[in-house]
Structure 1
């Protein structure tokens, strides 16, 4: 872990030094620091699945965090260097996650790059290393497609390592009405494999958001309340946990509320979500908050 943190900070320091050689507008150098803190409470009657479910949780959290960074990414920056320090908590474990993302524009529509992650599972205990190769296509107006191929290794104390890989894809389209309200339907496909366990998850959702702008003490402040409704289905529910039973959230509905606030180059975003299984009485709630500062 110490070697990884040292490497990340070395890369960031070199990046910062090279950036300082060029005079650019504050917030547009491409160097960013972000953090995500979350807690998830899962009501699931199948305790035998908890260990494997925890692995899916960590991997999914890393991929979602990458998507969030790319979704609010400013495409006017030719290069982006993002260092992210995250704390993820659930009913079973506390996880410290460290990410370093490097992205670059290859033209006016495409950004590509790499994201390297390390997760320290304190209570299990265990370690997880993951790398993502990602691409983001946007027409600069209302259509976005984000794709990521990932792979990694997971190791619990005194046990052999487990390798995994997968791919995530998300496509969304924005529609703006006369009242400055944006409607955002999207579709998402995720495939993942942890050793012999496989998952193919599809999600359909619909978001509604409105940007509220005001000038505040000589600062530009944007508040963008957003609510999302949707449903998801696991097509490989028999393979996700194998002998441990089928996925008890194989079909679910969910709602998510976010309130992103941006004041010049600083962003903060509280988020809360609720998911309900259709196949039984299980449900999941989570709360979290994102921070981001652009140099």
Structure 2
């Protein structure tokens, strides 16, 4: 059977997908995410920090070992917000190629949104309906309105869980005034940008949304098969915001289902999702553990 690999280098995490072609689609062999914070401090300094570069290149080297062990026929790697914005992105790309053997293509926001949409709807019973996908990343949030595999509208907003955490949530535990400032900023940002018009099922993806579903399900070990297709109600999101506001980062790490590496950014991610749901007047969101890496697989090797 032919095997293929895709890599997504994001602002907050890097993700690897290895799949084997089978009749009618793919069987996923490896689906791995590592939080490396490539975009750490980027909002202020416009450069990738040396330690963030080291963490991410190190993760990519480990990914390369997995890919070689799987003996894939084809491979594709893409970079998003952090690599679009960083002044020293070329240095990182050269190191990734030299040290990890990965040629990373930096894709525009519109392409990121499109591939994320195609990945998000894969494996969900929504394919023939109109769907509104929100992808909350570390450095940006992507919005796509589509019907089946056809994209109707798309947009991108430079608000992400990592950048908002660094900008607004500097105390531990977070102070009420800080969260109020964050909420006000989000409302203004969405007022300026607007959202694609039209109805459809709301689907959410990204590490923070998946983590919120795992917290709701009280998963001691993350199980993609249980999280993919799970539902988060608006009331669930509000309860989790209140929970994270009442905890220090160390206390959040002890919450069942919460990935300790996302303990500091989960509150900002939840705030973005809450704002989106309120703006769209949606009471629930369907969670997808699929994303850009799955869309890239379908696009390049499907």
Fold shared by both chains (TM-score > 0.5):
no
After TM superposition, the score normalised by the length of structure 2 is 0.29
| Bigger RCO (CA 8 Å, 6+ sep) | 2
* Larger relative helix fraction: 2
1 or 2, which has the higher strand percentage?
Answer: 1
